[in-house]
Amino acid sequence: MFAPLDWIILGLYLLLALVAGLALSKKASSSMESYFLADRNLPWWWLGTSMVATTFAADTPLAITGITVKQGISGNWFWWSWALSYMAGAIFFARKWRKSEVLTDIEFIELRYGQGEGSFLRLFKAGYMSLVMNSIILGWVFRAMAKITTPFVRWNEILSPELYQGLLAHWPSILLFQTDGYSAIANMNHTITLLLLFAGVVVYSIFGGIRGVILTDLLQFGMAMAGSFVFAYLAVDYAGGMENITRTISQSSPASAAHLDLFPDFTTTTISLFAVYFLVQWWSQYFSDGSGYLAQRMNTARSPEDATRGSLWFVFANFMLRTWPWVVVGLVTLAVFPMADGSATDLAAHCQELAATVPQFAPHDASIVCADPEMGYPILMKYVLPVGLLGFVFAGLMAAFMSTVDTHINWAGSYLVNDIYLRFINRTADPKQQVRASRLSVFTVAAISMFVAGQIGSIEAAWKFLIALAAGMGLPQLLRWVWWRANAWTEISGMGASLLLTIVLYASYPYLQGQFGWGELQAEYALLFTAVGSGLICILVTMLTAPTRNATLDAFIQKVQPSGFWRGDSRARAEFYHDCSLWLTGNVAILAGMLIPGYLMLGRPGAALVCALVALPAALFTHRLWKGRP
């Protein structure tokens, strides 16, 4: 439970976020472009920081703690490889998005493909992204916040017994936030907490629009990052220092010692996983071209140059600044809870032994970490952080949660209003009707996401399932920017194929598993199956269907000036090849530089020096290429 000082800190933060939203409500109400794009007048550092704050959700430190505990540091290559996607968004597409001057990335579809099949794709994708994909993403974010609040917020002790029991008895079960493994009381605690957070986020998001969202993102990013570093430092101190942590993990078992390696032993299995990460996963992401809320941020920039600079700052901060505090807490969890990696065959015996070997923790808390390593993050907060700092760090996680939720509901709301309501239902809506519809859409998306959250178990599993489900969107979204032959059917067939292949794979795998004795389906191989399968299908469909009309293509080229392979355009090809070089050297600089703090933390200065000798020349060469852009 929180002390009074912790509650005061939380209250002040929530009040500040609400005031920011209300203060900007008048400005946001002036037009759709003001509500969703802040009049396209934001500097690069503002929009880039907002991108970082949004991708730092409450689920992120929990998922990375779980990955580090179960798979070791090298397990994080699953998401470190996303640098290739984010760098592509910054180098190839950020300035092009800003030049397109669309309100949403879904509106871009008709700009690129024209009406007809382009209009159908715009309508379908707006509904699919806002109500299906976005709800799954927000669902696991809400789920993460429920996990974080579990050790701290117990409404059955805060409220009077009569009031709480009355709520528990009369609350509709369909609206109760279900949490596997917890009692009805715990579920009711989660429900009350999330409803209050839901109310706070929705209020300032509805009234402040994207300006309110981005302004609070700046505060939220600062709090969340400061809280992460403070918590990681104190957690290491609590566990006896990094040297003691690494020694404890190394001495636990040979399997645990491998958790300290930044690269895995390159067996056939791990080589195939890395091949999926770096040869398939980066281009099959549903945000492969910076789509979604990233494109929305790029379109708030005051110039194409600001869009690119902000995107590059996002890539740097996402991997160079944010990685290690969460990985460190994962290592502390593994050291303090010596069987937290789930190596025992009998889970019940595993939990009992873990509770007995960690006497300073309540047996129930030790069992929670044993059954769900992602809970190591909030459980350690409970024991490591003193009064005041606990409130601050918790407020930082709440800030991370709120910055992600407000972005996603604003972004999804823009689809519902701009790409469905105004495009297909009411084209003559006046500005007041538009803003009113925008606010209603924001509320609707948030409410649906709350319901979806109750259906999600593991955050990491939800991450990986969504990546497989959306794998067919990545390649078509890249092709539409660089190849004149891509058409609306390229995207339609890619999306449909990945959806169908994912359903078939997950439905048939239990049968195949029983017939052939296969192990558990790895999400990375599910991604490979859906990404490659849907990629081949979309290319085949592209070649069998007619290209986009010449007039539409000519208007698109004149407005956006894309790079790549456009009939007879040597300038576009030269720019594309130059950007490929810039993308390659930028990735080397980021990924090699990211490893330097990790090796220093583990007491391996020689390896850190090697990474520095790779990262520095790559960064200098990237800068030189940047200056010479055509």
Taking only the tens place, the pLDDT of each residue in 63-92 is 898 889 888 899 899 899 999 999 999 999
| Chain centre distance of CA 590 | 19
CA distance 400 to 395: 9
Q: What DSSP letter does each residue of 228-284 carry, written as one string?
A: HHHHHHHHHHHTT-HHHHHHHHHHH-HHHHGGG-SS----HHHHHHHHHIIIIIHHH
Among candidates 148, 188, 150, which has minimal Cα distance to 57? 148
Residue 473 in contact with residue 491, Cβ under 8 Å?
yes
In the numeric block, which tokens belong to residue 124?
A: 């379908």
CA distance 588 to 95: 22
Q: Quick one: tokens of 80?
A: 């470190």
pTM exceeding the 0.95 threshold for the entire prediction: no
Q: Which two tokens stand for residue 292?
A: 């979604």
The answer for 9, left when phi > 0, alpha when psi is -120 to 50, beta otherwise, is alpha
Residues 6+ apart with CB under 8 A from 62: 144, 147, 148, 374, 375, 377, 378, 459
For the segment 165-195, what is each residue's pLDDT rounded down to a tens digit? Answer: 888 777 766 556 555 544 455 567 777 877 7
Asked whether the beta carbons of 73 and 327 are under 8 A apart, the reply is yes
> C-alpha 33: how far from its chain's center?
25
Cβ pair 465, 503 in contact under 8 A: no
Q: What are the structural domain ranges in the chain?
A: 7-469, 563-630
Q: Is the pLDDT of residue 338 over 70?
A: no
Residue pointed to by tokens 């576009």: 572
- CA 515-519-525 angle, to 5 degrees, is 105
Query: pLDDT digits over 441-479, tens only?
Result: 877 777 777 666 655 555 556 666 677 777 888 999 999
Which region holds residue 521: left if phi is over 0, alpha if psi is between -120 and 50, else beta?
beta
CATH number of 7-469: 1.20.1730.10
Mean per-residue pLDDT, 315-333: 91
